[in-house]
Structure 1
Amino acid sequence: MKMKIKAAAAASVAGVLALTACSASGSGSSENTISVVGYSVLEAANKPVFADFQDTDAGKDVTFKTSYGASGDQSRAVDGGLKADVVHFSLETDVTRLVDSGIVDKTWKDTPTKGIATSSVVVFVVRKGNPDNIQTWDDIVKPGVEIITPNPGSSGSARWNIMAAWAHIVGNGGSEDEGKAYLTKLLDNTIALPSSGRDATTSFTEGNGDVLLSYENEAILAKQSGADVDYVVPPDTLLIENPAAVTKDASASAKDFLDYLTTEPAQEDYAQSGFRPVIDGVKVGEVEGANDPSDPFPTPDKLFTINDDFGGWAEVAPKFFNDGSDGNPLGIVPQLQEDTGKQGEE
């Protein structure tokens, strides 16, 4: 790695970004206690959303119990018995797992935002001043560039990152073989595969690697928290859409809270934490930590989407990420991880 941040600053930022993962388990929730199970990056962003919901008539006297972690791990935990009233994950497939097991109703996407509560784009987080001049997807696979990205086996963020990299090749007219060759270069340059997006950010802010593949909102939060980093929105990238749903036995208060997530006040709160609004009419204002606080969410030159460009997660998940546990062949990414020896946290 070409540049280390100071140990004291790294420790401070790591403390701010550390995951508390308060337990949401229990035999059940009362009408006024909402158990929220989410992916790790949401932890800081949810705090003002909770507080503002509690100031509404629907949220009066409501309290929250929370659990945060890697999106796939959180989904599997709920499937295995972790109590949840509201789930807010990185990937649609982490909700559909719960639909398949009967925990979430199959109509969960029947909302004005099609079940999406937050959104972002894939960016490059770099050292302050961008000393390696990393601007494009081609730059990060140059020899000697050290990449950190979460593990796609557990992290939703990692899967968005991988698909953004794939889109750079195949979405721009390249063949699937060229896409695989690019992902191989990316994995060869990867020095760590932490279990979650938050763990990956902590590793990077502690001084590891030259570039972190991450959510734009996570990069903004890192800067808000004092990390000595910058970030680059590449000319072509992928729209990240994070779903939320209630479980079948959730209380009326939980359903009210789910509805609240896509209101203007909640989306304003999420925007201040670096998320792009999922509805129109949100008064974003200035966003501290953004490259341009007065224009925090610029439109990339080319913005790919999972649904429009790759057929949706129902097609993407088995093709790219199948882990072989169902008896079917490995997906493209686990196979490349096996071929490159980059299969887990390092």
Structure 2
Amino acid sequence: MSWRLRVIAHGLALVALAPAACGQAEPPAGDGRVTLSLVAYSTPKAAYQKIIEEFARTPEGRNIRFEQSYGGSGDQSRAVEAGAKADIVAFSLEPDITRLVEARLVAGNWRSDEYGGMVTNSVVVIATRGDNPKGLKTWRDLLGKGVEVITPNPFVSGGARWNILAGYGAESGRGARRADGVAYLRALLSHVPVQDSSARASLQTFNSGRGDALLAYESEVFFARKGRRPLDYVVPDATILIENPVAVTTTSRHPEEAKAFVRFLRTPTAQRIFAENGYRPVLPQLADPKRFPVPSGLFTIKDLGGWSKIDKEFFDPETGVIAGIQGQP
């Protein structure tokens, strides 16, 4: 089965397992509570679970229950597009929200708040096991003879797309030398022995002993360390700022409650929980530079041309750069 058919099948399976798709208004439970469905990408699961506990202690959250679903960002977005129930969507990257805007499942003005629709930030790092026997510290080091790099499948995982664009931007001078960047990606992907469906699955693969380096969110290394995994990491001098979006769906049965939860996500209480889980807060006063240093060559997706340009150019499943590279022998 081709990867495209696997993606479709996985998305349909998610829909089949999800509660009934959104339609007519759902009456509140007999105890006056309502249920919100949070559909999110895989890595912030622990943070969201803790945040939901804190939200339940607030006047706005005390009568709200949550159904939670976590997986690869692209898979999750496609599942909602196909009909999976969702009141709140929290994805790894903007195009997975854009897909739902185009399907009229998220309002076109979802980015109109003061945070630009984002709820957390991170950066792409190079993670290794504690002893880092091959001394892997730079993007070029990953191309060394015999080096295996673990990163997820960019056609289903938002984390994988960030990883790829971090390497591309670093080796192309933020896109100024496109040919150099594409050549680097071709070489890098030849060092990737397996592509899992999500960032969390890739972490599990790496922790099982596969690979010499893991391309990951900075937050993933924090997660691994909390689990007492002997991982270390390097923030490359040139890497990309990861920006993670959140939105309320237009088909939410409880839009006011869903909006209240999204507002809570930007409070100091919730942002501190994200920080404790390795995410860089969107509240400037909580972004501790000692804990979250800013790399000298940090760049953003806007520096590469923006998602509307980059997503099609690199990740179109038929004509994109990555499809061309991975379709080659």
* Aligned position for 2:290: 295
| Contact 2:168/2:175 (<8 A) preserved | no
| Contact 1:161/1:213 (<8 A) preserved | yes
CA deviation string 1:85-143 (max 9, x = no partner): 00000111101111111111101111110000111000011011222111111111111
| Contact 1:91/1:243 (<8 A) preserved | yes
* Aligned position for 1:312: 306
CA offset at residue 25 of structure 1? 2.2
CA distance in structure 1 between the aligned counterparts of 2:133 and 2:54, rounded to whole angstroms = 40
* Aligned position for 1:323: 317
**CA distance change for structure 1 residues 225 and 80 in 2, over 3 Å: closer, same or farther?**
same
Could you tell me which amino acid in structure 1 is paired with residue 51 of structure 2? V
DSSP-derived class of the 1:281 partner: helix
| Contact 2:272/2:286 (<8 A) preserved | yes
CA distance in structure 2 between the aligned counterparts of 1:93 and 1:27, rounded to whole angstroms = 22
CA distance in structure 1 between the aligned counterparts of 2:315 and 2:275, rounded to whole angstroms = 30
Could you tell me which amino acid in structure 1 is paired with residue 328 of structure 2? D
TM-score, normalising length from structure 2? Answer: 0.89
The percent of aligned pairs where both chains have the same amino acid is 42
DSSP-derived class of the 1:303 partner: coil
| Contact 2:21/2:84 (<8 A) preserved | no
* Aligned position for 2:264: 260
CA distance in structure 2 between the aligned counterparts of 1:26 and 1:53, rounded to whole angstroms = 25
CA offset at residue 60 of structure 1? 1.0
Alignment of 1:113-262 (within 5 A): 113-171=115-173, 175-250=177-252, 251=254, 252-262=256-266
DSSP-derived class of the 1:339 partner: coil
Q: CA RMSD in A?
A: 1.7
Unmatched segments (≥5 aa) in structure 1: 1-20, 285-293, 325-329, 341-346
Could you tell me which amino acid in structure 1 is paired with residue 292 of structure 2? F
CA offset at residue 255 of structure 1? 0.8
* Aligned position for 2:321: 332
CA offset at residue 295 of structure 1? 2.7
CA deviation string 1:161-214 (max 9, x = no partner): 000010011126762221111111101111111111011000000110000001
* Aligned position for 2:274: 270
| Contact 1:24/1:37 (<8 A) preserved | no
CA distance in structure 2 between the aligned counterparts of 1:172 and 1:111, rounded to whole angstroms = 28
CA distance in structure 1 between the aligned counterparts of 2:114 and 2:267, rounded to whole angstroms = 11
| Contact 1:24/1:84 (<8 A) preserved | no
**CA distance change for structure 1 residues 178 and 283 in 2, over 3 Å: closer, same or farther?**
closer
**CA distance change for structure 1 residues 100 and 172 in 2, over 3 Å: closer, same or farther?**
closer
| Contact 2:148/2:191 (<8 A) preserved | yes
* Aligned position for 2:74: 72
CA offset at residue 263 of structure 1? 1.5
* Aligned position for 1:16: none
DSSP-derived class of the 1:302 partner: coil
DSSP-derived class of the 1:257 partner: helix
CA distance in structure 2 between the aligned counterparts of 1:63 and 1:78, rounded to whole angstroms = 20
| Contact 2:168/2:185 (<8 A) preserved | yes
| Contact 2:37/2:66 (<8 A) preserved | yes
CA offset at residue 265 of structure 1? 1.1
What stretches of structure 1 move > 3 A for 4+ residues in a row?
27-31
